[in-house]
Amino acid sequence: ADLSSQHLSPLVSANISNTAKAPLAVTVILRYLHMLAPNLKKGTNNVIEHEENMNKLEFFRTIFPRGSITFDVPKEDPMAKPNPDYRIAEGCKLLLVRWELQGDGDLKCPFCKEGNLIYKKVAFSRTAVRPIIDIE
C-alpha cells in the first residue's frame, strides 16, 4: 500500500462523487486507511490469522503504532500537476480510532461495565465517520 501524495492525490481525483460534508480528500483518504486495516474474526476483536492479514496488521501498525490515532496527510509533490481536491487535505492530521488494533486488550462497555466493545464496521455518512460497535 502506498501512502505517498503521488498515490493519494490520484485516488482523490478518481472518487469525485462526494455526498459527505467532509472534504472529498478527507473522506477518500479515511476510506483508504480503513481498507488497509486487517480483517477481524466475526463477533470478536481478534485479527484473522493468515499471512496476508498479518501483513496488513504489520503495515497498519507502521502507520498507526500502538497508542497512535493520527495520520498526517503528506504534502503534494510540487512537481506533480496540482490537485485542488487533494490540496484541501494535505498537511492535515486525520484521526482514526481503531482501539482493537491500536491498544492492548478489550474496552469495557461504558454503560453496563460488564461487556466488551466489539468493533463491527465503520459507517461513512454525510456528516461523520462513525464506528459501529457491538457489546460482547
pLDDT at residue 89 in the model = 87
At 128 the pLDDT is 58
Q: CA 1 to CA 35: how far, in whole Å?
A: 10
Q: Grid coordinates in use for 117? A: 466493545
Tens of pLDDT along the chain (136 residues) come to 678 878 788 777 776 555 556 777 888 888 889 889 999 998 888 899 999 999 999 999 999 988 888 999 999 888 888 888 888 888 888 888 888 888 766 788 888 878 888 888 877 665 556 665 566 5
Q: Helix 51-63 to helix 24-36 angle, to the nearest 10 degrees?
A: 140
CB 90 within 8 A of CB 76: yes
Residues paired with 133 in a beta bridge: 119
Query: In this structure, how many other beta carbons lie within 10 angstroms of the beta carbon of residue 34?
Result: 14
pLDDT at 62 (0 to 100): 92
Please report the pLDDT score of residue 52 as a whole number.
93
